Amino acid sequence: MPPLKPTSLQRISHSSRLILNPNSHASFSTSVPRWPRLRPSARPSRILATSNDTHSNVLYSTPPSSPLAARPNRLRRILLPTRLPVPLLRRVPPSSPQNEHIPEIIILGASNVGKSSFLNALVGRPGAARVSARPGKTTLMNAFGLGPLPSIPKGLVRQGEKLPRYSLVLVDTPGYGFKSQASWGDAVWKYIKARKMLRGAVALLSSEKRLMEQDKWLLRTLAEANTRTLVVLTKADKGGGSWTQRCGDMATLVREELRKMSRSVGNGWEEGSGWNPDIHITAAGMDNVPKLGSGGGVGGVRTSILEMAGFDFDLKEKEVKKKDETVTYGGPVVSFDDIKWKTG
Ligand SMILES: Nc1nc2c(ncn2[C@@H]2O[C@H](COP(=O)(O)OP(=O)(O)OP(=O)(O)O)[C@@H](O)[C@H]2O)c(=O)[nH]1
Ligand SMILES: [Mg+2]
């Protein structure tokens, strides 16, 4: 990441509006995906996920029925970090505190790919972010604070500084493509470029579609910004045929793309350090996928996200046993309440 200016935290409420600049950043308004607009609600779908196909390095997370995954996460709607060098919001209090401590993870993807559903599954609150079958539902970046009160090493806290009440921030975003607006992309892009505490991006791709040019553009943008990236496929339950085959093929294709991008940007955004070679697969109907049995979860995805955010967690005693009859993910699972700040 380039050196970043400290930026303010600002509340983004549903009444807030991004300032729309029709002539926004050239890279958004021309060959680039438009970013979306939204309309409300449908019942949020569950995102499940799960299992670890060790051969293809495709991960599926653990079932929510796991006692670990079922642990309630603390979730708070929080002040949203979005004041950027160029003002993106109007009608927001200018005096909001800066975020200098809390890691932020941004969730990105095309409109309707399932970003808000994914966030809801991740935090275990179906209604946290609004979901709709109609593309363009989410029109603002919405941030959610998670986890316990952080114990920040003393030396890092300035005198009189207001301490955060959560350990991690997840940011839901409007999508690109159908029903999107270029200016939303502009806002998101500025966030990626400028946000001091951004620790990584989750790029959602729909497994029922081909890898779109716009998706490649997103991945390339993250590569060029040198933002750590975790790719997650959604909608594994849609699209027909064998979902393991279909998703596995797509994961392979995505990995090839990512490798190509690593080579072409040449800025250190490499497999492992820049992008996570594990590609997680999720599906809001995965409990109906026979091979996975009933239920599903996002334990594995959550663990990858927490790693990307830079948290320490000791999960040795929390390993979920791999069951023979399924391909359920057998790695560690962590609740957001387990996150601990690195002390070193
Ligand atoms: N079958 C299936 N449907 C899903 C899955 N994830 C989300 N959906 C559905 O896809 C639609 C869009 O979901 P959202 O979570 O609103 O998608 P989004 O990416 O936030 O959309 P925008 O905010 O419009 O960009 C909703 O009808 C969800 O129920 C999935 O994994 N499988
Ligand atoms: Mg949304």
Q: Which two tokens stand for residue 12?
A: 């983004």
Binding site membership of 133 for ligand 1 (Cβ less than 6 Å): yes
Q: Which two tokens stand for residue 38?
A: 């939204």
Kindly indicate whether the ipTM for this predicted assembly is greater than 0.95, answering yes or no.
yes
> What is the pTM assigned to this prediction?
0.73
Q: pLDDT per residue over 204-226, tens digit each?
A: 999 888 898 889 989 998 999 99
Q: Give me the pLDDT at residue 236, please.
A: 79
Binding site membership of 137 for ligand 1 (Cβ less than 6 Å): yes
Q: Give me the pLDDT at residue 113, please.
A: 93
Q: Give me the pLDDT at residue 342, please.
A: 65
Residue 133: phi, psi to the nearest 5? -70, -20
Q: Give me the pLDDT at residue 112, please.
A: 92
**Mean pLDDT split into 10-residue runs, the chain, 344 residues:** 27 25 24 32 30 36 36 41 28 44 89 88 76 86 78 74 77 85 79 84 92 90 93 82 79 92 93 86 57 44 83 55 40 65 61
Q: Considering every ligand atom, which ligand is closest to the CA of 39? A: 1
- Distance (angstroms) between ligand 1 centre and the Cα of 131 equals 6
- Distance (angstroms) between ligand 1 centre and the Cα of 63 equals 19
In the chain, the amino acid numbered 48 is L
Q: Considering every ligand atom, which ligand is closest to the CA of 135? A: 1
Mention the CATH class of domain 26-338: alpha beta
Share of the chain above pLDDT 90, in %: 16
Which residue has the least CA distance to atom 26 on ligand 1? 133
Locate the ligand 1 atom nearest the alpha carbon of residue 36 and give its number: 25
Mean pLDDT, the chain, whole residue set: 64
Locate the ligand 1 atom nearest the alpha carbon of residue 131 and give its number: 16
CA separation for the pair 112, 117 (Å, rounded): 10
- Distance (angstroms) between ligand 2 centre and the Cα of 131 equals 6
Integer CA distances (angstroms), 174 to 107, 108, 125, 284, in order: 9, 8, 19, 19
